[in-house]
Each structure stands twice: as C-alpha cells, then as structure tokens.
Amino acid sequence: MYFSTQHRFWTIPVCGTAPETIFKISGKNHQYEYILKIRATGSGQADFVAASSIPVYFERELNIECDNQALLNEIRLTDSPFNSDGYAGPHRQQFHFSSRTGFLNDPNGLFYFQGTYHLFFQHHPFGVYGAQQHWGHAISSDLVHWQEKGQALFPRGTSACWSGSAFVDTENVSGLGIPGGPSPILLFFTSADSGCFSQNIAYSVDGGENFIPYRRNPVLISQGDGDDRDPSIAYDAECREFLMCLFLGETSRQFGMFRSDDLLHWQEFQRFSFPGEGCECPDLFSIRDEATGRVRWVLIEANGHYLLGDRNGKDGTFVWNTGGTILNRQDYLGPYAGQSFQNVPDGKRYYMAWHWDHTRTRETSQAMTLPVELKLRGERLLVFPVEALKTLRCETYRFSAPAFQVRLRELPVDSGDLWELEIVTPPDEEIHLNFGGVPIAFDGKRRELRIASSVITYPDGETYFRGRIFLDRNTVDLFDHAGRFMLCVSVDRHSSRPVEFGDLWKTNRLCELTVHRLKSIWQS
C-alpha cells in the first residue's frame, strides 16, 4: 500500500492475542526498508491503536506491504495520535513518565538544547512486551511535564535500535551540521540483529525534531563478544577529545574505552571490568566535586553501581579509585539502565532510569523513575529529587505531636490519590509505615531503614530518618534528605488502603510529617 502524505504518523489496531503478521515499511523508492512482526487485527478486536512516526527521510512517501489486505485496510494516517486523556488509566503512573501506548524500557540519548530537555527511550510501539525496539521521544521544559513526540529512530532491515546516548556537537566537529543552522545533535545507538551488533549514528540538523541515519554507518563494528552495545559519549575538555564507553558483551562482561577527534572515527585505548555484577548501559561523564572543587570522572552501570576516578596523564587511561551505588533494586526489579542528561547549563547533571516492574495493561507497560539531580560531594555521588517536582503539590497537610492520632485519621486518602510525604521520625524509636502493601520501617536503635527486602544502615549517632516519600499509582519512591540513596519499589494500590501510618498513631514524641497531595503531570 502506497501513501503520498504530509501526515506525521501511521496507525494500525493491535491485539496481544492476534497472530504475528510481517510488515515491510519503506520510504521513497522503497529506501530505508525495515521489517516488523506486528500482532495487527481489526479495529473491533484491538487492545489499542498503535502509532508509528513517518521518518522525515522517507520524503513524504510511505510504502507498507503485507500479505493480508484486510489489515492494510485498517491503516490510517494522522498528525496527532497522542492526547492527555490517554494517560488517565487507573493503573498508569501519573507523575512518572510513561509512553502513551506500547512497551517502554531504557532511557536513551538524554540531552538539553535551547530550553528543552529531550528524553529518548527504548520503545516497542506495537505491543506491551519488548520486541523490535525503536527509540521513542518526549520533550519537557522542566523534567517533570512531558510531551510525547513519537519515534525518533527506527530499525533497519530486521534489526532493532538498542540503547545509546546523545551528544550536542556545538562546534560541528563532525561536519554534519548545516552552515548557519543549529548545532547538529548526534544520537549514538546499537543496531542489534541476530549475531551482528554495531554502533551507529543518526543526527539532527533541526534542533532535535527529526533524525537522519548517518550514511556511513556503522561507525564501529563489533569489538567484543558480538553483542557489544550501549555506547555512552562524553567530551574531555582537558585532553580535547571525545570518549565512548561501550559494554563489550555478556561473555567477557568488560567495558571498552574509545577516543575520537571528530565523533565519527573511533579507536580503542582501554578495557576493564566493573567490580561485582556491573553490566551494560554505561553512563560516562565528568562532574565537579562540591567539597574539593576537583573535576572527577564517573561511570555508572545499569544496576546503579558507579566508579569514581581520573584519567592517567600519560596515556589517558582511566584509573578508578572508589565507587558506590545510587540505586537500590528489589529482586531484579526497580530502577535500571539509567542515564544522565548531556549539555545541561551550569554543569548540572540530571538522571533518569527505567523503573522495571510487572505492571502491564492492554495498551501500555513500564515507566521511568522520577528525575533526580546527581551531585558529587567528598567523593560520594548523591541523588536528590529535582526541584520542579514541588510544582505538583496542590494540597498540603502538616502534622506534629501530640495531635497525630486525631488529625492523621482525618486525612482523606483514596486508592487513586497521588502523594508526597516529608517526614522526620523521633530519635531512637522504631516507626512503621505501609504503602500499598509495601512496609517501610526505621529502627532508630539499630539505625536501620527497611523497605520491602532492602536494609540500609545509617551512620553512628544518626538515630532518626529524615526524607521524602512519593506514592504514585504503581510505585513508592523514597529519598534520604542527605541524598545517600534512591529506593524505588513497585506497589499494588488496588487491593487495600493505600497509606497506613502504623506507629505514628502511638508516638507522642516530636515527629514532623507534611503530606502533599500531588497533581498528575498529564493534566496539571
């Protein structure tokens, strides 16, 4: 089926129980063909209507082929498949980003450019399980309220677009920019086909609105076990060179470091292993230590473990001195494969991860974590919720002893409500809370914070908990006031009272509790 169109999207009804049908999609003169297996169906049997962007390099021509004419007849063209009402389901996160439809996982290619934050993410637009991944795209002015744009990267042939990163080429060293135009923006990604992985580039010359495949792809063929992936790009201003960190595959579980002077040609100069269970999705960046003023290098892997170090002055190899973790996961669920935003003013470093859980509806699956700011203090990486989250507060209730028991019982809590709690527990006491069946306890005498199966021990002399707790439809997020950790746990809010204040009913000692009802990011 051939379309000559100026529309931006094509749509087709899909159903998770329908058989897979092979579709061939291509542009003008059948160029840039890619092949998808889609569980397409008639509109009366659909779980949802899937939407896919039409790439700008298709030159306003769209060819879609399959051997089922009835399914081809279900295809429609549109300019606006996304609307705010579509984000309002009872099981959908309301202040964590999620895609309107389809399956979402790793955040990719995060950057800031001319007042706008760009979030790309692994996206399968035609189902609620991962398959041939595209890169979805959303934009924001504050990291909290997002507008979904569609897909930015598409498979080639039978491949998938796996994770990667972005770089704003302000000096146009790549030569991909247009004279007098905005800085070119390069997306680095892994093209993953069976047994054949390579690193590729797509670039934008219109400020991140559209991306075009680099005609000399791939820029790096397999360097490791055949499944090397997830390029992370950084710039070393002191050495005046670009850096790429690449996960070299599941067999060696090593990371490779590459250098370039033009972002297009890369040479390996180092390999190393990450201690413990370090694997995939590296995030490499430099950051200034607020305590010492020194600029240090940080490498974070998918599980949230990080290394902190410097570069050797002779050969540029990395020497990792210490490390830690910023994420806490529960049985392989929770925050994973995070990435920080490039090109943010004043050297700030914002970070988001995929919140991996079992939540699926007929039309969508998975969400991102809350956006946080990373800070380095005294050789420790700290994590804080971004300030813009405070703009979601719409009602506030403040409590303190001895009026806890009466006033907490008056707090109107419904299963669909969105909450933020600011809490300071009494010293030396054990306090219990419960959010959607997830127990949270702080034992002042043991100096232990417990949430689900995680246990965090506090330093000597610190016998109270002070922090913030966020409750969305499917998750509870807990942050320590000093930025020492970020705990994200999946919850079931539809089977019981969503918030139980436990021992706070009984305490008569000084305890501070402020409860904020929050607005949805899709409607506020």
Mind listing the pLDDT tens digit for each residue in 433-464? 887 778 888 999 999 999 888 889 998 889 99
- pLDDT attached to residue 523: 73
Confidence of residue 509 (pLDDT cuts 50, 70, 90): low
**Sequence-separated (6 or more) residues with CB below 8 Å from residue 293:** none
Question: Closest Cα partner for 125 from 37, 22, 44, 213?
Answer: 37
- pLDDT attached to residue 406: 46
Share of the chain above pLDDT 90, in %: 72
Q: What is the mean pLDDT of residues 188-201?
A: 92
In this model, does residue 429 exceed pLDDT 90? no
The count of other CB atoms within 10 Å of the CB of residue 262 is 12
In this model, does residue 326 exceed pLDDT 70? yes
DSSP state of 504: G
- pLDDT attached to residue 404: 55
Question: Closest Cα partner for 274 from 307, 312, 303?
Answer: 307
> Would you say 310 and 319 are in contact if contact means Cβ atoms under 8 Å apart?
yes
Q: pTM to 2 decimals?
A: 0.95
> Would you say 163 and 354 are in contact if contact means Cβ atoms under 8 Å apart?
no
Share of the chain above pLDDT 70, in %: 92
**Average pLDDT for the chain:** 91
The count of other CB atoms within 10 Å of the CB of residue 411 is 14
| CATH homologous superfamily of 84-385 | Glycosyl hydrolase domain; family 43 (2.115.10.20)
269-282 pLDDT, tens digit each: 999 999 887 789 99
Cα distance between residue 385 and residue 372, in whole Å? 4
CATH number, span 390-518 = 2.60.120.560
Confidence of residue 257 (pLDDT cuts 50, 70, 90): very high
Q: What is the mean pLDDT of residues 299-304?
A: 96
Confidence of residue 226 (pLDDT cuts 50, 70, 90): confident
> Would you say 346 and 429 are in contact if contact means Cβ atoms under 8 Å apart?
no
Q: What is the mean pLDDT of residues 174-201?
A: 94
- pLDDT attached to residue 474: 87
In this model, does residue 48 exceed pLDDT 60? yes
Domains of the chain, residue spans: 2-78, 84-385, 390-518
> Would you say 103 and 366 are in contact if contact means Cβ atoms under 8 Å apart?
yes
Q: What is the mean pLDDT of residues 293-303?
A: 96
What are the strands of the beta sheet with 48-53, ordered from one edge? 48-53, 9-14, 76-78
